[in-house]
Structure 1
Amino acid sequence: MFISGFKKIREIRVKSSKIGGGISLPHAIWLPALTGVLSLAAFPKLNQGYLAWACFVPLLVFILRCAGARRAFWAGFVAGFIQFFGLIAWIPQVLTRYGNVAEPLCWFLYLLMVGVLACFPGSACAVTRYCMRGLGSWALFLFPAAWVSQEYLRSYAPFGGFPWLLTGYSQTDYLHLVQISDVTGVYGVSFLILTFNSAIVWALLSDTPKSRRMAPLALALLLLGGSALYGERMLRRWGSLKPELTAALLQGNLSFEESERELAWKFRDGYARMAERLEGTKVDLLVLPESPTPLMFQFDTVYAGTLRQLAARYSLGMIFNNVTVSYAGGGERYFNSAYFLSRDGVEVGRYDKVHLVPFGEYVPWKSLFFFVESITKDVGDFQPGSNLTTVRLGDHTANALICFEAIFPYLARQFVRRGSNLIVNLTNDGWYGDSAAPYQHLAMARWRAVENRRYMLRAANSGISAIIEPTGALQVATGLLREDVCVGRFGFVHDQTWYTQHGDVLANVCVIITLVLGAWSAWSLRRAALVECASLLAL
């Protein structure tokens, strides 16, 4: 299928000095649509990551042949809409089942969200095609930088960003390629994928001499080979660690639909019962997941006593999630918190979640979205924490990421840069049932371990709980939607990676390149228009 498809694409020849053949979206919608379908299949649950290395070829062919930036935008929009429509197909289930949103409104909100997300790849396509007008077809190689720029922007906006399944995440299972993220972050793998796709299109469609036509593809292959060799070296280095500590992660599989009384019993006695399975096993640290609880550690002395008794069994104590109430400033303020208890039952630290889920844990811009709370039943009213708190565990330091905070590269990096030697992720993916979301969430979390070369202890209420090694490998993992105990080895790591120290340098360079070439292209087009106007006046 791929060979016949490439033969068909090869028929669409384009000269390097002349681009654009007037191709229109209605007549060639199959090109961006094919990109959308193939890119969707590259991510969990389908996990066909190899497709990412060619899935953008049809879209790039369209960009080369279309008549202008507007058509290129809509091509990118179509590809993005199809991709995101499949990737976040679990959204309607969450809205109807847990948000009490009417089904028609639910689908409207879902399609609106997909449409907003699709504008990001659309913008990358439009910028690339616009630059081709001013700079020629070689501006095709701006596409990787433009694409990474829109992914970087999506990591921060709107409402704090939604970097769900950036292109690089498609390679999660190919650990040799993931390792460069300790230098470039996940954006480096995205850039590599888009560069390879661009080089394929240039090799197929350019009418330049063969040596020049194949040179970009040869360079892309060298980059890919170099990344794989670097990955092999890093896998040998970080895979040789011999961790001496043992962690136990309790996966309670608590349901939102259970009665408050039943949930209270499970929180007060259920976790203690699960911990009894650990008798006879040397465990240094116990970790409980984020999960729905009617009990508050602050005020329920019986519940607090149970947790302190549990912590006393382990040399490094325990970490758990609970709601915190603050009365500072004269009113009640609620925080989604991670508590750290020492073996002595003393609270040695607390982290209040700083990156809340918009429309889930709070309503942004309440004056604009005043109607949200009236149409949903479970929108929280949490306040964001103000500090990136790290906590001492024995002679070392750890930090917590709560729920979807693990999908933000900058957040884990800032914790590690501040001295964290261990990342703990407390999450509750029970909202998503047996959809692709828990698998997608885990895939993204694994990259935080590689970028910063830290062990990650990931406790998930309904799964997937896992101990993730600094290579991104899953040392041990549980199943989904079942009660389980996950036991494995971990250690504290003190080295800091280049990425930890310097951050998203590559992504920022891509943004600068995109802006500079965009401005240069605009200047070139304006100058050409002025020259043409002067020529006409001279006549």
Structure 2
Amino acid sequence: MITRLYGQAGLSHIRATVLALVSGLLLAAPLLYPPLFALMWLAFVPLLIAVHRATLWQAYVWGLLSGLTLGMAAAYWIIDFLMLSKGYGFMLSLVWGALFWLYTAQLPALIILLFAWLRRRTGLHDYILFPVTTAALCAVFPLLFPFRPGETQTEFLMALQAAALFGVSGLDFIIALVNIMLLHALLRLSRLATLLPALGLVVAWFLYGWYWLGQWDELVARQDTISFGLVQPNERPTLQRSPVYPGYSRAFPPEMEMTQRLAAAGAEIVVWPEARDKDYFQDKAVARAFTNVIDNLDISLIFQDIESSEKGSPASPVVQYNTAVMIANDGQEAARYRKMKRIPFGEYVPLVSDVPALRVRAENFLGEFLNEIAAGQAYEDFTTAAVTMVPLICYETVFPVFVAEAIASVARAETGPGRPGGLLLAMSSNGWFGATRQPYQHVHSAILRAVENRLPMVHVVNNGPSVVALPHGRIIFMSPPQHAGGWLVDVPVASNFDSSFFSQYPHIFRYFLLGLLGACIALALTRLKSPNSRRIDDRQ
């Protein structure tokens, strides 16, 4: 029936446009509501049908239309973000939001355009070209909030497990492969000889997932647990100095009272999220008060604050860092971690922040939301007798290679027998996005880092939801969003620090994809220059 949609020149423009819109909505649906994860496995199919016999220009336009639909549906929260962070009115926020959606739409547009061009010029099978193009571009295309199909699959645990070998890019590859296989089934394009190897690869991926999902369920059931106290203050987002609430003080904020309650309930480690300034680094009286309370409670406390240093450059003698700090159960500061991956246009301006004249203009334009900070220079770990924690701040959780390299750095530093097991500890604040789905998108994306590196993750978020996930992606706790409170969660942790294949070799599959894509492009260019080159449309 599908083949009857085509005339001599392919689909009509109206039908192709409708299919592109449908594809964009299918791509967006799992980002808005994770239980719809299955839609991602067929989301590209309508768009692929639309561009099957289209020109390259048409392929780009329909890919762009699909990308715009995806952006407007799944990233509608950019309007809230601009209104809260910049104080813009709705119409001005809509204009900037439209530019944001237009840029993010380039990713699906380029995927479809490059795939359409390669399939015309290389003679290689779609089962190679589409998965390689999709996974490679999703891995390297620069986005403020990355789009990776695999990060929509956190409720499909069997699909996640092989990410410990290949990272989320491997799952992106498999999702794209299933999409192109469905297209060929609908249009009856593939012979059995080409279908079987692709089907075998998909089956192998899921058999691996089925086996290791069961193995990890059994493994974590035998592990000892550590009681983590999660504090979620639900503060309103602002870069101004935070108020002192009635009955509290700088030295004794509401978070500290909740910490006392959690300690009394049995917490061994209490974590506060990324939120407003605590004055821990600026006020020695606050620092003494914090350490005295923790010493009396006999727990470890981890929190984030803004740290100032006078070791900057002559142009900027005072620099600030977004810093996580750990106070051990003896009341002594045990470690600090300075955030290394900064948010473009929020914590620095690419190519501008290091030029004083341009920096001033950027500060005037971006206003309050530009809170210029310096990048940290080293990975750190927060270690107790029971656990080695790898700290991550804010959007550091969305960088797979960065997280893997942090774990590898800690693993190299942790030498000797009897070292405690590992855990990913993330502290974030998503209040700038209001009561939207963006905080859910953030924490579900971060869960892939737990699976990739085979470590549990505790992710504490200022406005929620805060999440605890196990090394195979199973969520054992999720707090309600837009709600203040404290929760005690028993987290299984291995007795020894270990990691995954991906943690040790995070670049291998990505470099393989990029190398293969580069070879395809080189082949296409060679055939383009050849006097005997010809257009290749439908190959079996």
Interval of TM-score (by shorter of Structure 1 and Structure 2): 0.7 to 0.9
What TM-score, normalized by structure 2, do the two folds share? 0.87
* Distance change in 2, residues 1:448/1:225 (3 Å): closer
Matched, 1:374 2:364: yes
3-state SS in 1 of match to 2:369: coil
Query: Contact 2:392–2:425 (CA<8 Å) still a contact in 1?
Result: yes
Query: Contact 2:348–2:371 (CA<8 Å) still a contact in 1?
Result: yes
How big is each residue's C-alpha offset from its partner over 1:352-397, in whole Å with a ceiling of 9 and x where there is no partner?
Answer: 1111111112222336686543243221111111112223323653
- Provide the rounded CA distance (Å) in 1 between the counterparts of 2:189 and 2:333: 69
1:266 Cα shift? 6.4
Counterpart of 1:240? 221
The alignment-based identity, stated in percent, is 22
Residue in structure 1 matching 2:149, options 161, 167, 171? 167
Matched, 1:391 2:382: yes
Query: Contact 1:334–1:382 (CA<8 Å) still a contact in 2?
Result: yes
3-state SS in 1 of match to 2:221: coil
Matched, 1:305 2:288: yes
* Distance change in 2, residues 1:11/1:528 (3 Å): farther
Counterpart of 1:285? 269
Partner amino acid, structure 2, of 1:256: P
- Provide the rounded CA distance (Å) in 2 between the counterparts of 1:410 and 1:79: 28
Query: Mean alpha-carbon deviation: is it higher for 347-356 or for 44-53?
Result: 44-53
Q: Report matched runs for 1:336-485 at 5 Å.
A: 336-366=322-352, 371-375=361-365, 376-394=367-385, 396-419=387-410, 421-485=422-486
How big is each residue's C-alpha offset from its partner over 1:312-344, in whole Å with a ceiling of 9 and x where there is no partner?
Answer: 255551111111000014511011100011122
3-state SS in 2 of match to 1:398: strand
Query: Contact 1:412–1:448 (CA<8 Å) still a contact in 2?
Result: yes
- Provide the rounded CA distance (Å) in 2 between the counterparts of 1:100 and 1:146: 39
Counterpart of 2:63? 76
Query: Contact 1:359–1:379 (CA<8 Å) still a contact in 2?
Result: yes
3-state SS in 2 of match to 1:448: helix
How big is each residue's C-alpha offset from its partner over 1:18-51, in whole Å with a ceiling of 9 and x where there is no partner?
Answer: xx94546555211221110111112233641111
Query: Contact 1:132–1:140 (CA<8 Å) still a contact in 2?
Result: no
Matched, 1:93 2:80: yes
3-state SS in 1 of match to 2:285: helix
3-state SS in 2 of match to 1:385: coil
- Provide the rounded CA distance (Å) in 2 between the counterparts of 1:263 and 1:109: 35
RMSD, matched Cα: 2.7
* Distance change in 2, residues 1:144/1:314 (3 Å): farther
3-state SS in 2 of match to 1:11: helix
Matched, 1:50 2:38: yes
* Distance change in 2, residues 1:96/1:336 (3 Å): same
How big is each residue's C-alpha offset from its partner over 1:399-440, in whole Å with a ceiling of 9 and x where there is no partner?
Answer: 211011111111211111122522111111122222001111
Query: Mean alpha-carbon deviation: is it higher for 491-500 or for 186-195?
Result: 491-500
Counterpart of 1:110? 97
* Distance change in 2, residues 1:324/1:396 (3 Å): same
Residue in structure 1 matching 2:179, options 190, 197, 202? 197
* Distance change in 2, residues 1:341/1:259 (3 Å): closer
Query: Contact 2:227–2:267 (CA<8 Å) still a contact in 1?
Result: yes
- Provide the rounded CA distance (Å) in 1 between the counterparts of 2:186 and 2:123: 17
Partner amino acid, structure 2, of 1:141: I
- Provide the rounded CA distance (Å) in 2 between the counterparts of 1:261 and 1:55: 47
Query: Mean alpha-carbon deviation: is it higher for 359-368 or for 191-200?
Result: 359-368
Unpaired stretches in structure 2, ≥5 consecutive residues: 412-421, 536-540
Matched, 1:11 2:12: no
Partner amino acid, structure 1, of 2:206: G
3-state SS in 2 of match to 1:309: helix
Partner amino acid, structure 2, of 1:113: F
3-state SS in 2 of match to 1:292: coil
Partner amino acid, structure 2, of 1:301: K
* Distance change in 2, residues 1:147/1:332 (3 Å): same
Matched, 1:523 2:510: no
Partner amino acid, structure 2, of 1:457: V
Counterpart of 1:41? 29
- Provide the rounded CA distance (Å) in 2 between the counterparts of 1:181 and 1:60: 26
- Provide the rounded CA distance (Å) in 1 between the counterparts of 2:468 and 2:34: 23
How big is each residue's C-alpha offset from its partner over 1:81-109, in whole Å with a ceiling of 9 and x where there is no partner?
Answer: 11122222111112112212344332222
Query: Mean alpha-carbon deviation: is it higher for 162-171 or for 327-336?
Result: 162-171
Counterpart of 2:53? 65
- Provide the rounded CA distance (Å) in 2 between the counterparts of 1:469 and 1:118: 33
Matched, 1:249 2:230: yes
Counterpart of 2:203? 222
Query: Contact 1:131–1:517 (CA<8 Å) still a contact in 2?
Result: yes
- Provide the rounded CA distance (Å) in 1 between the counterparts of 2:293 and 2:59: 59
What TM-score, normalized by structure 1, do the two folds share? 0.88
* Distance change in 2, residues 1:121/1:234 (3 Å): farther
1:144 Cα shift? 0.8
Query: Contact 2:213–2:472 (CA<8 Å) still a contact in 1?
Result: no
Query: Mean alpha-carbon deviation: is it higher for 93-102 or for 347-356?
Result: 93-102
1:242 Cα shift? 2.2
- Provide the rounded CA distance (Å) in 1 between the counterparts of 2:481 and 2:523: 51
3-state SS in 2 of match to 1:98: helix
* Distance change in 2, residues 1:12/1:478 (3 Å): same
1:193 Cα shift? 0.8
Unpaired stretches in structure 1, ≥5 consecutive residues: 1-6, 15-19, 533-539
- Provide the rounded CA distance (Å) in 2 between the counterparts of 1:394 and 1:217: 47
Counterpart of 2:417? none
* Distance change in 2, residues 1:417/1:255 (3 Å): same
Query: Contact 1:285–1:316 (CA<8 Å) still a contact in 2?
Result: yes
Partner amino acid, structure 1, of 2:404: R
- Provide the rounded CA distance (Å) in 1 between the counterparts of 2:362 and 2:306: 22
Partner amino acid, structure 1, of 2:207: G
Query: Contact 2:136–2:169 (CA<8 Å) still a contact in 1?
Result: no
Partner amino acid, structure 1, of 2:321: F
How big is each residue's C-alpha offset from its partner over 1:155-200, in whole Å with a ceiling of 9 and x where there is no partner?
Answer: xx3xxx5353410012111111111111111111111111011111
1:446 Cα shift? 1.1
1:255 Cα shift? 1.9
Partner amino acid, structure 2, of 1:229: W
How big is each residue's C-alpha offset from its partner over 1:276-299, in whole Å with a ceiling of 9 and x where there is no partner?
Answer: 323542221111111012x42123
Query: Mean alpha-carbon deviation: is it higher for 301-310 or for 168-177?
Result: 301-310
